[in-house]
Amino acid sequence: MANTISNYGLNLIKRFEGCRLSAYRDTVGVITIGYGWTKPIDGKPLTMGTKITQAKAESLLKEGLKSYESKVNKYDNKYHWNQNQFDALVSFCYNIGNINGLTANGTRSISQIADKFLSYNKANGRVIAGLTSRRKEERQLFLKTDITQSANTNYLNTVNKYTQKDFVRDIQKAIGAKVDGIAGNETLSKTVTVSITKNIKHAVVKPIQKYLNTLGYNCGTVDGITGQKFDSAVKKFQEANGCKIDGEITARKKTWQKLLKF
């Protein structure tokens, strides 16, 4: 399933774009309306006399973001974006038009992409204070490893409510190990392999979903089933923690060890 922007990311865009219900010219002279909308509306080109309602501005923004989400999702197989990275990049993309230059067509690393954000703060060769502020905030969000500011309701209810010790205890209960909240050899030895194709409904799946959500890797609804969101979240966690990126959690590899902080 393709990534979609969270409410936090949406509000970030709204804040920087601002909303004007009468058409105006932006800093480079382009006729604009609503939250930075520059395309025709209902088949009619924008003119300086165009006016819209607040409801129309909201619907135009949501409709317009779909193409920018697609442009960011184009690189998801390469980078396995977490929610914060995705939100930051959609904001950037909505403002700039694409992320091809930012990512060098998918050849830059995550850290290199972060470093490049601040370069995109000019219009017609001039540094724009508003763009500088936007790039700084987008970069800060891009580098943020948790989702405590995100309002994605699919997983917000687990944030800051599920600790590492809670996770270890729940895993120990699920695998029949001593329940003490401390991940030792016994816990690791009793772990089972789970992935989108193996043990898709094992008792350890819910704790893993809750914990990955807490860490900022969006598993969506905590339902105990290893579906596409689970697979994507595991792969993102693996990439960030130096594990083999295969979506499979097994003690023979690093993923269980990294999750349990063994």
CA–CA distance, 106 with 8 (Å, rounded to integer): 25
Q: What is the chain's percent helix, strand, coil content, to nearest 5?
A: 50, 10, 45
Q: pTM of the prediction?
A: 0.56
248 given a catalytic annotation: no
CA distance 34 to 37: 6
**Exactly one of 17, 69, 138, 248 is catalytic; which is it?**
17
The CA-atom distances, in angstroms, between 177 and each of 138, 183, 210, 259 are 43, 10, 20, 16
DSSP secondary structure code for residue 37 in this structure:
B
Helix axes 83-96, 54-73, angle to 10 degrees: 110
Rounded to an integer, what distance in angstroms lies between the CA atom of residue 143 and that of residue 235?
18
**Which of 195, 198, 245 lies closest to 208, judged by CA?**
195
Domains of the chain: 7-143 (1.10.530.40), 156-260 (1.10.101)
Q: pLDDT by residue (tens digit) across 146-181?
A: 544 443 444 444 444 577 888 999 999 999 999 998
What is the 8-class DSSP label of residue 22?
A: E
Task: Taking the CA atoms of 13, 17, 18 and 22 in sequence, report the sign of the dihedral they define.
Answer: negative
Tens of pLDDT, residue by residue, the chain (262 residues): 578 898 888 888 988 888 889 999 987 889 999 998 999 999 999 999 999 998 899 899 999 999 999 999 999 988 889 889 999 999 999 999 999 999 999 999 998 999 999 999 998 888 888 899 899 999 989 988 654 444 344 444 444 457 788 899 999 999 999 999 888 888 988 999 999 988 788 899 999 998 887 776 778 788 899 988 899 888 888 877 778 888 999 866 688 988 887 7
